């Protein structure tokens, strides 16, 4: 059933939210990522993977964690905390939506400062390719309290869906839990902010 129909019928929306675990820049090139599956705001499962710091494997890693696995057929929406993991290992958002055949959404806590982002990217390899990934992700939509980019669905529908899968504050529960779990595994305890 389509996401819009589920929302109209007040049905449970199943989402997965991905966030990277804490890492130390330049020390360990492996960055772990947690993907938490929620039915609405209720925890239902998770996946765990890894990407390279400032690498190029984030899109492929998400696909490897989901394609031909048990969770993908159940999902209505894929959420990512920001556009990349481990610094600037950026997601190719249109490619991810196409490969998963699901709406894919990057969720941000604040509107990004593109000047600072561009300055940081030019310190890394292949900056033009990284900037291309940022542009491919498309328009940043503001649906208070959410800032997001989306491929594969109407932004109005996503804005409403995000409010339905958020328990409190401005972070959907699947992303909040992914953040807390990643921090707990790496640091032996979860952080105070999610």
190 part of a folded domain: no
Buried b (16+ CB within 10 A) or exposed e, 1-11: eebeebbeeee
51 part of a folded domain: yes
Number of separate domains in the chain: 1
Domain with 14 in it: what CATH number?
A: 3.30.2170.10
155 part of a folded domain: yes
Distance CA 159, CA 17 (A): 16
pLDDT tens digits for the chain (194 residues)?
789 999 999 999 999 999 999 898 877 689 999 999 999 999 999 999 999 999 999 999 999 999 999 999 999 999 999 999 999 999 999 999 999 999 999 999 999 999 999 999 999 999 999 999 999 999 999 999 999 999 999 999 999 999 999 998 889 999 999 999 999 988 777 765 65
Could you tell me the CA-to-CA distances from 101 to 23, 87, 142 in Å, in that order?
A: 30, 26, 24
pTM for the full model? 0.94
């Amino acid at each position: 059933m389509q996401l819009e129909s589920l929302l109209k019928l007040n049905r449970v929306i199943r989402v997965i939210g991905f966030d990277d675990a804490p890492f130390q820049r330049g020390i360990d090139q492996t960055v772990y990522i947690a993907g938490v599956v929620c039915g609405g705001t209720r925890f239902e499962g998770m996946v765990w993977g890894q990407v390279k710091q400032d690498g190029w494997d984030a899109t492929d890693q998400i696909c490897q964690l989901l394609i031909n696995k048990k969770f993908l057929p159940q999902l209505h929406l894929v959420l990512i905390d920001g556009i990349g993991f481990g610094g600037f290992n950026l997601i190719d958002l249109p490619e991810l939506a196409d490969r998963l055949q699901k709406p894919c959404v990057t969720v941000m806590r604040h509107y990004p400062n593109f000047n600072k982002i561009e300055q940081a990217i030019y310190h890394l390899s292949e900056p033009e390719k990284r900037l291309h990934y940022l542009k491919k992700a498309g328009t940043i939509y503001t649906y208070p309290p959410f800032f997001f980019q989306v491929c594969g669905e109407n932004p109005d529908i996503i804005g409403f869906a995000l409010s339905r899968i958020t328990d409190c504050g401005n972070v959907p529960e699947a992303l909040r839990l992914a953040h807390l779990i990643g921090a707990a595994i790496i640091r032996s305890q979860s952080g105070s902010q999610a």
